[in-house]
């Protein structure tokens, strides 16, 4: 019997990182409360004690549950009868591994932002720690929570495209098209290899793109050839990447990720082509999925519209024509995690349809970044994922 068995009500949630001035912390908090499944009760919200305290007060946390560091939080919360059941880790990448290990070892489920870690060594060590723990590990590749992505996945699995031949995925942005000063906290840590890891755009958004392609198609990468660039003078990590992909079974892929593509905001786009059909989806129009059977006109499939699959309907909250997007997709990952945490409370397996990215997805993402860096340094040589 776990210490959480028999509990009812919202899942008690803690947060590491995500204090004043942070973007992704607020997104996680919105996602966690959208369906009423969680209650934020504790936090170590900044590495600066003064900021951690101020951030906790802003969020209405009890004074004795506002912590100056994650290690103290993990120990104190594990000792409380009303301690947190799960923690959201929303720090810069280099702090994911030590924070996640501390909470796993304290018997607390982990919900971690991507990429998994800043280095491959940290990712492998964290994967071993997660495997040795009875706690759940959820990685927030939030685009897998979009209903039409679940529809696309179901269509591929049902053979509606036939055997997959070609996968094209791109994720261009322009917000790092010029050098940013230290006052831009988001840019500052994401372009610092000591905090972000060796991959810049590849780690920040390339991991989203490569994971989405694999999630929809079920394909696994065999080798890749990457050409990475840091176009902004003085930048120490890549801000643009072109990657050729060879999948197991013979399918071929191409991935482009860029944070210097002027005119693009968040233009994640996936196209998959099989022997008998193709699909296309764009994150900026997430309620639409185009399907083209070979030799027939393209068909527009819409979220909760005619032809919606059970997989997509399960994650939809509103009728067709009422747009859902980024926050709802993020919330779907939290809701899937909540279903798994409740099942863990009860000592049972979650329902079969419950699905979320986990430690294996995170390890693959870090291996992808490491392989891209190795390949690019070798003049785009074909490189196997470790």
Whether residue 289 lies inside any domain: the answer is yes
Is residue 217 located within the same domain as residue 88? no
Is residue 111 located within the same domain as residue 237? no
Whether residue 134 lies inside any domain: the answer is yes
Whether residue 5 lies inside any domain: the answer is no
Question: How far apart are the C-alpha atoms of 299 and 146, rounded to whole Å?
Answer: 19
Domain with 37 in it:
11-143+333-355
CATH number of the domain where residue 164 is located: 3.30.360.10
Is residue 132 located within the same domain as residue 158? no
Is residue 157 located within the same domain as residue 188? yes
Is residue 220 located within the same domain as residue 126? no
Is residue 115 located within the same domain as residue 228? no
pLDDT for res 1: 44
pLDDT one-digit tens code per residue, 214-264: 999 999 999 999 999 999 999 999 999 999 999 999 999 999 999 999 999
CATH number of the domain where residue 62 is located: 3.40.50.720
Q: In the chain, which residues have pLDDT < 70?
A: 1-6
Is residue 216 located within the same domain as residue 308? yes
Max distance between CA atoms of the chain, in angstroms, equals 65
CA atoms within 13 A on the CB side of 348: 8
> What count of other Cβ atoms lies within 10 Å of the Cβ of residue 322?
11
Is residue 104 located within the same domain as residue 172? no
pLDDT for res 182: 86
Is residue 308 located within the same domain as residue 171? yes
| Token couple for 166 | 């070609």
pLDDT for res 239: 98
Q: Count of domains in the chain?
A: 2
Is residue 296 located within the same domain as residue 375? yes
Q: Where are the beta strands (DSSP E) in the chain?
A: 11-16, 38-44, 86-89, 109-112, 137-139, 164-172, 221-229, 240-247, 252-258, 269-274, 277-282, 288-293, 299-302, 383-384
Is residue 134 located within the same domain as residue 151? no
Whether residue 185 lies inside any domain: the answer is yes
Whether residue 217 lies inside any domain: the answer is yes
Whether residue 323 lies inside any domain: the answer is no
Question: How far apart are the C-alpha atoms of 55 and 381, rounded to whole Å?
Answer: 47
> What count of other Cβ atoms lies within 10 Å of the Cβ of residue 40?
22
Whether residue 321 lies inside any domain: the answer is no
pLDDT for res 6: 60
What pTM was estimated for this model as a whole? 0.95
Is residue 157 located within the same domain as residue 205? yes
Whether residue 209 lies inside any domain: the answer is yes
- SS3 of residue 46 by DSSP: coil
């Amino acid at each position: 019997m776990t210490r959480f068995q028999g509990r009812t009500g919202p899942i008690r949630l803690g947060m590491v990182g995500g204090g004043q001035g942070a973007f992704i912390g607020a997104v996680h908090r919105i996602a966690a409360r959208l369906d009423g499944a969680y209650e934020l009760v504790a936090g170590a919200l900044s590495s600066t004690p003064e900021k951690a305290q101020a951030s906790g007060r802003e969020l209405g946390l009890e004074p004795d549950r506002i912590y100056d560091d994650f290690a103290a939080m993990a120990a104190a919360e594990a000792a409380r009868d009303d301690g947190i059941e799960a923690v959201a880790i929303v720090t810069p990448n280099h702090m994911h591994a030590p924070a996640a290990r501390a909470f796993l070892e304290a018997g607390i489920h982990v919900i971690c932002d991507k990429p998994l870690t800043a280095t491959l060594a940290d990712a492998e060590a964290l994967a071993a720690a997660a495997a040795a723990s009875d706690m759940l590990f959820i990685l927030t590749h939030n685009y897998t929570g979009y209903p039409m992505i679940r529809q696309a996945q179901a269509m591929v699995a049902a053979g509606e495209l036939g055997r997959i031949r070609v996968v094209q995925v791109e994720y261009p942005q322009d917000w790092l098209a010029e050098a940013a000063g230290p006052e831009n906290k988001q840019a500052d840590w994401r372009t610092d290899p000591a905090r972000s890891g060796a991959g810049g755009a590849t780690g920040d958004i390339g991991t989203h793109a490569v994971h989405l392609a694999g999630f929809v198609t079920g394909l696994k990468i065999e080798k890749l050839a990457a050409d990475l660039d840091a176009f902004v003078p003085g930048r120490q990590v890549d801000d643009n990447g072109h990657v050729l992909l060879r999948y197991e079974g013979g399918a071929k892929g191409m991935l482009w990720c860029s944070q210097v593509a002027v005119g693009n905001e968040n233009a994640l786009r996936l196209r998959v082509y099989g022997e008998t059909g193709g699909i296309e989806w764009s994150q900026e129009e997430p309620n639409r999925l185009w399907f083209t059977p070979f030799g027939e006109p393209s068909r527009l499939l819409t979220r909760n519209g005619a032809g919606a699959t059970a997989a997509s309907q399960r994650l939809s909250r509103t009728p067709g024509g009422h747009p859902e997007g980024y926050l709802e997709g993020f919330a779907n990952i939290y809701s899937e995690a909540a279903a798994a945490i409740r099942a863990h409370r009860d000592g049972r397996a979650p329902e079969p349809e419950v699905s979320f990215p986990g430690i294996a997805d995170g390890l693959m993402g870090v291996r992808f970044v490491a392989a891209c860096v190795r390949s690019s340094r070798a003049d785009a040589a074909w490189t196997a994922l470790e």
